[in-house]
Structure 1
Amino acid sequence: MQHYRTRNGQTRAVLGGLVGRSAEWVKAIETGRLKVPRLPLLLRLAEVLRIDDLAVLTGEERLSATTFTRDTHEALPKIRDALTTYRLTLPDREPPTAQRLEDRVRQAWQLWHANPDHRTQVSRVLPGLLADLQTTARVVEGNERRRILAAMAQTYHLAQLYLSFQPAQELVTLTGDRAMAAAQDADDPHAIAVASWYMNHVFRDAGERHEARVDLAMNAADLLRPENGTEDLARWGLLQLAAALSFAKVGRSGDAWRFWDQADRAARRLGDHYAHPFLIFGRSMVDAYAVTINVDLFKSGTAVRTAGIIDLAAIPSATRRSFHIIESARAHSLQGEEVAVVHLLAKAFEESPETARYNRFTRATVMDLSVSGGGMIREDAQRLARKIGVPAA
């Protein structure tokens, strides 16, 4: 445990805070003064240390942490096939127009944001959409091809979101890389900016390449002209947010809030009621990510207070609302407020069942509280565990 903690640059206090224990508890585990924790807490440790094989921690028979903390969507094999099928022959029919494909991509994003079962809905259209984009890009030229490539990058972003929190990290990396390649081939600053936002998620979730991901975000931001209108300004603000989240992950509070302030200024210029059609960047999203930044910086009291004043109803996306409710639960978890945690996770499930079901914090926390919670908390956690499909007491 000490090896992986130091590899990740985490102090004992940081690791302890992430699993709801003290620095002294971490030291006692590392020095052998305490026995191996029970399974729910062991899984929380594996999660924050980014370990999939529990045998790495226990030395016992191999047991995959992803069995408990990640669920597999039923359409994952179909999406995997769509991403790893190479179409080497040209289509024998007239290819769709760029406008038609762009409309289909827009409709797919609407499915993602508007439906509680967004993964299921999007999985039905992704394979065919990817196939048509890939084949059409081979037979058109000029501006038409650049439009197709930009639409392809957006579709890979959707695939990346579909794959998130599932046992398919190699496909998450693959989709992020392909999106960036398509955006660069399109020579489209807007597409490159969005690809940089999503690649930041890939690197940040893996705990890797902090400096590289900040440089990527800032280099992409330099391609934009925020004074030219909402499309540039929204993407520019989004990239400031990417840098803020990266700095928060490594504990650099001053830098995190400096970049959050930049995102905040962009949101103010866009207006209180603005939200980007598929990126959802706007006033409410920037405010909601302030909760995430405070949690990552272990400012639990500030995180809870911030969560209490956010108007999530202004976010036009069920999955984004659910995600930010879960982030609010993370804030209360740092405070040890188990009643609030269970209540918020249940609310997140009601908002978007598939968001809650595939979220690692939700799965690990519900499983933990279904065993260790007291009285009604344990009963509520067990009820939620059954709904999202994790082992309960």
Structure 2
Amino acid sequence: MPLRTDDQTPTFGRRVRRLRERAGMTRPVLGGLVGRSAEWVKAIECGRLGTPRLSLLLRLADVLGVADLAELTGEERLAAATYTKAAHAGLPAVSGALTSYQLAPRDEEPESVPALLGRVAEGWRLWHGRGDHRTRVAALLPDLLADVQHAARAREGTERRQAQAALAETYHLAQLFLSFQPAPELVMLTGDRALSAAQDADSPRAIAGAAWYMNHVFRDAGERHEARVDLAMRAASLLTPDRDADARARWGLLHLAAALSFAKVGRRGDAERYWDEADRAARMLGDDYTHPYLVFGRAMVDAYAITLRADLVQSREAVTVADSVDVSGMPSATRRAFHTLEGARAYSMQREPLAVVHLLKQAWKMSPETVRYNVFARGAVGELAARGPVTARADAEVLRARMGVPAAA
């Protein structure tokens, strides 16, 4: 076998280009998402600029969906999660529950489906509630997973399908807990299992919910957006949105998923077209409607416009939306905090550090664990505490310490 020449050896720039093209991003989109220009991306890819400092390298890894920095640097394995993600104390228990297999039948009678549905609903209440939502859900998940899995195997007929739908929702809770944790393989596992359980339930509604959460898995992993949009639209085609509010909400949610997918790769026209469909669904549901656990409604569609504009690298428009959206009435502390963090991300793209720190502090008051495990928030407080303007540095340092983010070098 001939030795590789220097021309054949993948350089940092070639790796960036390969990963960017795999994600379907243009240079302007990638540059905008990491706070740099298209010319900067071109200079990186062409080798005129070398490997950037760690904070920017980690931002590239996050945007490109890279969990192992070796995919970018070509050096020994160095997990990006080591620097950008904090492991929750409940991660080992949840991981163990997901990777233990009950091969022998359990002796006891499975819990009734209505009782299990009540426990799943309690899980959603804890997830969306104020306080340490991850900690509370982590304590609930291992037993809930085991009991719902048992019922899904032991029940028959309609009850079995209901248990499978409950199992899909339980996997959604597990996926949400695992998001922003250093366990990307488990996030993919829960998304896949949820979709399989929803299909076994033969429930278009359960499939729609699973497709929404699977879209997050694909988008965060940098998978090709065509697959994400196809999944969302195939799931939407199974629904009859005029049947009731729940069906319309799920239909709108899947069009929102497609809009976010197109925004991620810079296709503005398609992103806006699908967002308009989600907006139409929200308007038909009315300002007072919010889905019980998917949280789809008027406020959610409006708030996701911040993400859409930020991902389209329209930072000024994203800030304008962030200034106009009121998330205070959204019945989910975790959602309110997330969308507030997206507003901070928009201001970060506009290089307004005082606004970023202000919004980070607001989000912390809403849901500390949402902020503590958010990749953008962790990177922002570390950078601002070390190199921000003096007027922002003290508040950023307090947040950095509370979040357990290592001090920047």
Cα distance between partner residues in 2 of 1:165 and 1:102: 27
Return the match for 1:17 from 15, 25, 32.
32
Aligned residue for 1:312, secondary structure, equals coil
Q: Deviations over 1:248-287 (max 9, x none)?
A: 1111111111111111111111110110000000000000
Return the match for 1:6 from 1, 17, 20.
17
Q: Deviations over 1:81-134 (max 9, x none)?
A: 100111122222222111010011001100000133111000111110110111
The residue number in structure 2 matching 1:78 is 93
The residue number in structure 1 matching 2:269 is 254
The residue number in structure 2 matching 1:149 is 164
Cα distance between partner residues in 1 of 2:362 and 2:269: 32
Letter of the 2:165 partner, please give it: A
The residue number in structure 1 matching 2:286 is 271
1:175 is aligned to 2:190: yes
Structure 1 residues 382 and 59, CA, compared in 2 at 3 Å: closer, same or farther? farther
**Aligned counterparts, 1:121-136, within 5 A:** 121-136=136-151
Cα distance between partner residues in 1 of 2:134 and 2:97: 15
The residue number in structure 2 matching 1:366 is 381
1:91 is aligned to 2:137: no
**Aligned counterparts, 1:131-280, within 5 A:** 131-280=146-295
Unaligned 5+ runs, structure 2 = 1-11
The residue number in structure 2 matching 1:300 is 315
1:120 is aligned to 2:120: no
Cα distance between partner residues in 1 of 2:394 and 2:52: 22
TM-score normalised to structure 1 length: 0.95
Structure 1 residues 62 and 222, CA, compared in 2 at 3 Å: closer, same or farther? closer
Return the match for 1:68 from 77, 83, 92.
83
The residue number in structure 1 matching 2:330 is 315
* Contact kept in structure 2, 1:41 and 1:368, CA below 8 Å: no
Q: Displacement, 1:50?
A: 3.1
Structure 1 residues 59 and 221, CA, compared in 2 at 3 Å: closer, same or farther? closer
TM-score normalised to structure 2 length: 0.92
Q: Deviations over 1:229-259 (max 9, x none)?
A: 1111111110110111111111111111111
* Contact kept in structure 1, 2:252 and 2:282, CA below 8 Å: yes
Identity %: 62
Cα distance between partner residues in 2 of 1:378 and 1:37: 23
Cα distance between partner residues in 2 of 1:125 and 1:54: 33
Unaligned 5+ runs, structure 1 = none
My pick for the range that moved more, 28-37 or 333-342, is 28-37
Q: Displacement, 1:218?
A: 0.9
* Contact kept in structure 2, 1:115 and 1:121, CA below 8 Å: no
* Contact kept in structure 1, 2:13 and 2:46, CA below 8 Å: no
Letter of the 2:88 partner, please give it: H
Letter of the 1:47 partner, please give it: D
My pick for the range that moved more, 12-21 or 103-112, is 12-21
Cα distance between partner residues in 2 of 1:188 and 1:257: 29
Q: Deviations over 1:44-69 (max 9, x none)?
A: 23322333444555566654321110
Q: Deviations over 1:318-371 (max 9, x none)?
A: 000000001101111111111111111121112111111111111112112222
Cα distance between partner residues in 2 of 1:224 and 1:32: 49
Aligned residue for 2:86, secondary structure, equals coil
Structure 1 residues 135 and 59, CA, compared in 2 at 3 Å: closer, same or farther? closer
Aligned residue for 2:83, secondary structure, equals helix
Cα distance between partner residues in 1 of 2:325 and 2:158: 42
* Contact kept in structure 1, 2:110 and 2:151, CA below 8 Å: yes
Q: Displacement, 1:300?
A: 1.0
Aligned residue for 1:190, secondary structure, equals helix
Cα distance between partner residues in 2 of 1:308 and 1:67: 34
My pick for the range that moved more, 268-277 or 49-58, is 49-58
